[in-house]
Structure 1
Amino acid sequence: MDRKLKVLIAGTGFAGQGHADAFRGAGAEVVGMVGRTDTVVRDVAAKMNIPYAGTDWQAALEVCQPDIVTIATPGGAHVAPIKQAIAFGCHVFCDKPMTHSGETAIELYQLAQQKGVKTAYAASFRYSPSVLHAKRLVSEGAIGEPTEVESISHFNLDRNIPFGWSHSKAAGGGRLNNNFTHSLSIVSSVIGGEIRKVVGDVRDDMGRAPIVEGVHNFMTRRDFIPKDLSDPALKWGRSDVEWSYTVLAHFQSNVTAKPVSVLFKHGGLVPRFADDHIVFYGTTGAIYLKGHYGSGQLSHFGADQKWTDLPLPQDIIDANPDVQGETEQCWHYLVREFVKDINGETVAPYPTFAEGSQYQQIIDLIRSSDCWTDVPSIGRLRK
């Protein structure tokens, strides 16, 4: 394609601004931004030198005539603008979660397939350099055949973060939508497989959160925590989503005949004692990735029966986008692949609405899972 691809953005916060930078980094032209609040969207667009700013998505599509739209709003607000964009013939880049339910995610996937537009789903921490390194090592046989994986994280989030989309199932909130999606994508990418069976347990430890006006950017929400939480005039919103989860899954890997057992454990409100981590175990070794999304140091356990820190290969270093922030680097990487694909270049498979719709169905299954079996009490056994 000789001309630059034109991009229209839905969302003015951290993700919207990050997507704009990523598409510009990939050589596209950001032609417009749409937000809920007129003053906010005009201010952000002006600061980022985006020519069009507005609050009407359909009008923006007609005025800006984009090739690509990027959806950077909370998951509960994704369905309508994506439908409109697909009907307009736009390629769609969507941040996670894809939507608030498996049913709506399937509908969007099918609409995109019918229209023939390309899609990208930004469960994108699979592109952190250490995860890419782990993927290479597993494919080269560094741990033999994968047998099990554990993905453990503890975020210790403040319980008094102002009430918002993250507390609401209908708005696309919950830790499964906003943490598990990345972890699932990482495991799928590294072991080269697809989830086949799943069971899980979720827990809402939050209960309620203070309602505060003026929060527009997810990354600055802590700045709005009320100073006096005992103020009788303070209003509270009720959480209806999980803040902790435990998920057991079977993956069918491309490099082993037997299913790979995977444990995903996340505590959104609990403190960590040791490092968050992801570990890939195999028949002849293991790979340890430090950090909740495995973006820290990679260590390998091999034939010498010792853990050894391995340096990143130079080609992975060179391919890593030169931007600040892990989230931003991963957005840039995926956007680069997406733009290349739209322009007709050959790229490796990347997450699309196929993965996004499957992930939403999996989340629905976990939330509705009733896997418990009653155990006879000791008293009943003694009788």
Structure 2
Amino acid sequence: MTEHKIGIIMNGVTGRMGTNQHLIRSIKAIREQGGVLLKNEDTLIPDPILVGRNEKKLKALADAHGIERYSTDLEAALADDYNEIYFDSQTTVRRAESIKKAIAAGKHIYCEKPTATNLEGSVELARLAREAGVKNGVVQDKLFLPGLLKLKRLIDAGFFGEILSVRMEFGYWVFEGDWQKGQRPSWNYRKEDGGGIIVDMFAHWRYVIDNLFGNVKSVSCLGATHIPERVDENGERYKATADDAAYGTFELENGIIVQANSSWAVRVNRDDLLTIQVDGTEGSAVAGLRDCKVQHRVNTPKPTWNPDIENPFDFQTQWQEVPTNDVFDNGFKVQWELFLKHVVADEAFPWDLLEGGAKGTQLSDLGLKSWQERRWIDVPDIKL
């Protein structure tokens, strides 16, 4: 058994998601477990170099987590042949240009989404990567959530019969920043900085819907900016120019109807920050981030509408939990392992810059267009 090190440029990991999910819970965790075991029993050890604009933050992050390499010089990191993979979790407006540089340097690409601020930019990245012959992938973290994996198990087992509809509820109250500090960065609420919940979440909904329920045929979307003014990290008031809520409906090629509400201006009265209800002819399920509950046809109650009497049903107790029969690792870490195997051992990784990137950006663009034009928009095939 041979141990192989692979250099990974990690750009933008001083941000919340980059630090917690990608560095600490993925790359650091993989290193601490002894690497990624390949089919030939060799071991792959990721060797990251942290890249960003603030050397002080990079040094503190590297020191805190036992990372030896960090730099503010992206070009130098790209010029080093030891670094085979470029990873990007910067803000959306900075991502595309850095990925282009990495492709030109011959690096394999792994990145967060959205891959660019519009469809044209995302398609260009997919085309450039294909022409350069570099392997590439986009984070699809929600597919690896325990709740969605349980839901996928039900779908594959035919539990639902014919699936009729899907209802997705996502969001929570993001504080305005005046009397309580906001728990999301202020750029999320500025359109000019790549913010907006449609740009953010429709990229997720595309791969969730396509991979679980069917290909999206058309979209209708209404966006809103419910909180018009917020306070940034420096205590300064600013105008919120991006949407903070989106109310979408998607028609799939197989006839399933999907409704998806996304909001940073909603207070949670459900089992989780994300819930997905699937209704079918034989049964229904509600999945959250980790849990999933079901109600089969034979266990479905028979309520009738009568507002003049107390409700005789305790609906919440009439569902059964899907058991946790597997060990679910961190979804970001699992996908990192899959991508590393893809690069080194050519194992499958279907979520490339087209499938996992451009398609998500396309749905965001069409959602914004539907809102602007107040109409249904068909989703065409993407041509590279």
- Which residue is equivalent to 1:232? none
Contact 1:286–1:301 at 8 Å: present in 2 too? yes
Q: Deviations over 1:104-128 (max 9, x none)?
A: 1111111111112222211311101
- The structural deviation recorded for 1:153 is 2.4
Contact 2:122–2:353 at 8 Å: present in 1 too? no
Alpha-carbon distance in 2 for matches of 1:209, 1:163: 11
- Which residue is equivalent to 1:240? 241
Structure 2 vs 1, CA of residues 259 and 266 (structure 1 numbering), >3 Å: closer, same or farther? same
> Alpha carbon RMSD of aligned pairs, Å?
2.3
Structure 1 letter corresponding to 2:233: V
Alpha-carbon distance in 1 for matches of 2:290, 2:353: 26
SS at match of 2:49: strand
Q: Deviations over 1:167-209 (max 9, x none)?
A: 2234332112333333433232222x22121110101122222
- Which residue is equivalent to 1:210? 231
Structure 1 letter corresponding to 2:27: F
- Which residue is equivalent to 1:270? 266
Structure 1 letter corresponding to 2:260: F
- Which residue is equivalent to 2:211? 189
Q: Deviations over 1:13-60 (max 9, x none)?
A: 223323234134144323311112121112212222222222221122
- Which residue is equivalent to 1:20? 23
Structure 1 letter corresponding to 2:368: R
2:282 to 284, 289, 293: 284
Range moving further from structure 2, 299-308 or 344-353: 344-353
What TM-score, normalized by structure 1, do the two folds share?
A: 0.80
Alpha-carbon distance in 2 for matches of 1:88, 1:330: 29
Alpha-carbon distance in 2 for matches of 1:259, 1:338: 33
Alpha-carbon distance in 2 for matches of 1:124, 1:170: 26
- Which residue is equivalent to 1:312? 323
- Which residue is equivalent to 1:221? none
**Equivalent residues in 2 for 1:294-373, closer than 5 Å:** 294-306=288-300, 307-314=318-325, 317-318=326-327, 320-321=328-329, 329-344=330-345, 346-347=347-348, 349-350=350-351, 352-369=353-370, 370=372, 372=374
- The structural deviation recorded for 1:345 is 5.3
SS at match of 1:4: strand
SS at match of 2:66: coil
- The structural deviation recorded for 1:81 is 1.0
- Which residue is equivalent to 1:157? 174
Structure 2 vs 1, CA of residues 40 and 264 (structure 1 numbering), >3 Å: closer, same or farther? same
Alpha-carbon distance in 2 for matches of 1:54, 1:340: 26
Structure 2 vs 1, CA of residues 30 and 312 (structure 1 numbering), >3 Å: closer, same or farther? farther
- The structural deviation recorded for 1:351 is 5.8
SS at match of 1:196: strand
What TM-score, normalized by structure 2, do the two folds share?
A: 0.80
- The structural deviation recorded for 1:310 is 3.3
- The structural deviation recorded for 1:350 is 4.0
Give yes or no for the alignment of 1:75 onto 2:92: yes
- Which residue is equivalent to 1:124? 141
Contact 2:87–2:110 at 8 Å: present in 1 too? yes
- Which residue is equivalent to 2:119? 102
Using the aligned pairs only, state the percent identity.
21
Structure 2 letter corresponding to 1:270: V
Contact 2:218–2:250 at 8 Å: present in 1 too? yes
Structure 2 letter corresponding to 1:273: N
Contact 2:249–2:257 at 8 Å: present in 1 too? yes
Structure 2 vs 1, CA of residues 28 and 188 (structure 1 numbering), >3 Å: closer, same or farther? farther
Q: Deviations over 1:340-360 (max 9, x none)?
A: 222225446446542311111
Structure 1 letter corresponding to 2:22: H
Alpha-carbon distance in 1 for matches of 2:199, 2:171: 16
Alpha-carbon distance in 1 for matches of 2:15, 2:47: 15
Q: Structure 1: 5+ residue runs without aligned partners?
A: 214-225, 227-234, 253-257, 322-328, 374-383
Alpha-carbon distance in 1 for matches of 2:343, 2:204: 24
Range moving further from structure 2, 72-81 or 175-184: 175-184
Structure 2 vs 1, CA of residues 244 and 2 (structure 1 numbering), >3 Å: closer, same or farther? same
Aligned length: 333
SS at match of 1:368: helix
- Which residue is equivalent to 1:220? none
Q: Deviations over 1:113-151 (max 9, x none)?
A: 111222221131110112112112112210012221010
Structure 2 vs 1, CA of residues 72 and 154 (structure 1 numbering), >3 Å: closer, same or farther? closer
SS at match of 1:286: strand
- The structural deviation recorded for 1:250 is 1.4
Q: Deviations over 1:295-348 (max 9, x none)?
A: 13211221313454233352xx23x22xxxxxxx12111111111222225446
SS at match of 1:250: strand
Alpha-carbon distance in 2 for matches of 1:42, 1:93: 23
Structure 2 vs 1, CA of residues 297 and 52 (structure 1 numbering), >3 Å: closer, same or farther? closer
- The structural deviation recorded for 1:82 is 0.5
